[in-house]
Amino acid sequence: MQAKTPIKRLPLILVALAIVAALGLLSSIVTQGYADLAAAKAEKRRLEEERVRLQRHIESLTATIDAVSSDPEAVESLARYDLGWIGPGEEVIVLATPTPPPPLEDLTEEGAEPILRLP
């Protein structure tokens, strides 16, 4: 009788293994679903922020268009600042900012170059 007992339990073991495998698969699907849902919510939040930023930009551009359409000073302002235009008889003064010297730590005897070579 004992020889037949493991054979009788084999279908029960196979059913239990199938149930465990099915539960594992279902768990994996549900976990992936939650991950996809979280990613979709994050993407929705990012797109909403982008939409708000673009809406503000559109409002700014609309205000600029309205100002340019009705105010000659706005046209002059845009021409001066955005296009770099100057009025008749005006002179442009460009102030050059000198670049700072490199830090002394970077200079070595091997990499040092004289600024001026005398004959």
pLDDT at 27: 83
Any idea where the domains of the chain sit in the sequence? Answer: 7-85
State pLDDT tens for residues 46-61: 999 999 999 999 999 9
Kindly tell me if the per-residue pLDDT of 69 is higher than 70.
Answer: yes
Per-residue CA distances from 72 to 29, 62, 68 (Å): 64, 16, 7
Whole-model pTM: value is 0.47
Relative orientation angle of helices 5-70 and 72-81, to the nearest 10 degrees: 120
Interatomic CA distance for residues 11 and 18, integer angstroms: 10
State pLDDT tens for residues 3-31: 556 667 777 788 888 888 888 888 888 78
